[in-house]
Structure 1
Amino acid sequence: MKSGTFRSTTWDPILLISQIISMQFVVYFSLGIFVCIANILAGDNYTLDNIFEYHEIHISDIGGRLVICAFVLNSLVASLALWCIVRRAKLCLDFSCTFHVLHLLFCWWYNSSFPSNISWWLLNATTTTFMCIGGEFLCLKSELKEIPVGYAALNQKSDV
């Protein structure tokens, strides 16, 4: 730990791995709910293909457009997850990219081929951006709150 810094900068791999796993779980759980709702609205059957099959990302029918909307809405939930789990604005880009790189690897494994659909790449670039910027905004709001110091802060605590 460096002296003179506000936060501890010690390397904690257990915390890091648990945050990555927590982020993956929360984001995939909420994505599953959004995609399920999208499939109900479109009258389609719900399968894992909607999440991991890159050919499902298209605008040619209502089902594909609703799946795209589910991914975009989920990026906003992922911003909240960054705020609750990571709690550091400077780590939001790292965790956003980590989630999407792992998603790329899962999709590659699920499809047995590298994603070649341009709409899949555009959607993931967009959701990475929304997730990162939203998470940074929320984390910065928390990080920049005033820290009460001095006599007024002591009076507020004693009044409570």
Structure 2
Amino acid sequence: MPRRRRPPRPGALADLSPTRILSQIVVLQLAYYACAAVLIIFTALVAGKEIDIDLLFSWRTLRGDTTVGWTLGLVWVLNSLTCAVFILLLIARSKLVLDFALTIHFIHLIVTSLYSHAIPANFFWWALQICSASVMTSLGVWACQWRELRPINFGTKTTARQPSGSAGADGADESRGRGRGRGREGAGEYEMVGMSAGDDNV
């Protein structure tokens, strides 16, 4: 007789599904670039600078010796704060935040290297990526743990109090040696049973 296989844990296949993980990575990466593009365009318009795609994908624009470089660095840090919200909405598990945060920055490294035709050689760019990943991870873990530790409300309702009119019925039953009532704080019902004459002789 063949040995029966142990049934999988509920939700295990859904949590470890490669298709689901891949779709989450794609959505997070698109949200990462979309938010960064909005912030960069807004900052460029306010500063009166020309909008260029290099501001988004080129590592050469992130320099520590120019005002534009420091402004872009601040924009990318703000973008990591925004992506922490997307991690909370899409992932919602504190144990997976670090993996997704590092994956986002690793893909950004590949995209930046392919766009610039060179691996980033600017120390300021690398320091910014470390800072961005740290902020995204710490804030994402905190937000996911706060969501995981929230108390669960099962929608329980308090027991309605017994009408005052029923007390008379209980009193009538007690006069016959038999009655009903409730324990303290609604701890359940009890029943009074009369004792016969033969029980007194025991």
Aligned length: 150
8-17 or 111-120, which deviates more: 8-17
Superposition pairs of residues 111-150 of structure 1, within 5 angstroms: 111-148=116-153
What displacement does 1:8 show? Answer: 2.7
SS at match of 2:107: helix
Partner of 1:9: 12
* Residue 66 (1) aligns with residue 103 (2): no
Distance 1:42 1:65, change over 3 A: farther
* 2:53 paired with 1:53: no
The unaligned stretches of length 5 or more in structure 2 are 1-6, 159-202
Q: Which runs of 4+ in 1 moved over 2 A?
A: 7-11, 59-62
Q: CA contact under 8 A between 1:89 and 1:139: conserved in structure 2? A: yes
CA distance in 2, matches of 1:102, 1:90: 20
Residue matched to 1:90:
95
Higher CA-based Rg: 2
TM-score (ref. length: structure 1)? 0.87
- With normalisation by structure 2, the TM-score equals 0.70
Paired position in structure 2 for 1:79: 84
CA distance in 2 between counterparts of 1:35 and 1:76 reads: 15
5+ residue gaps in structure 1? Answer: none
1:16-66 Cα distance to aligned partner (Å, 9 max, x none): 111001101111100001111221233211112112111111232322221
Structure-2 residue corresponding to 1:40: 45
Q: Higher helix proportion, which one?
A: 1
- Aligned equivalent of 1:106, options 89, 95, 111: 111
Q: What is the CA distance between 1:9 and its match in structure 2? A: 2.7
Percent pairwise identity: 25
Which protein has greater RCO, CA pairs closer than 8 Å, 6+ apart?
1
Distance 1:129 1:15 in 2: 25
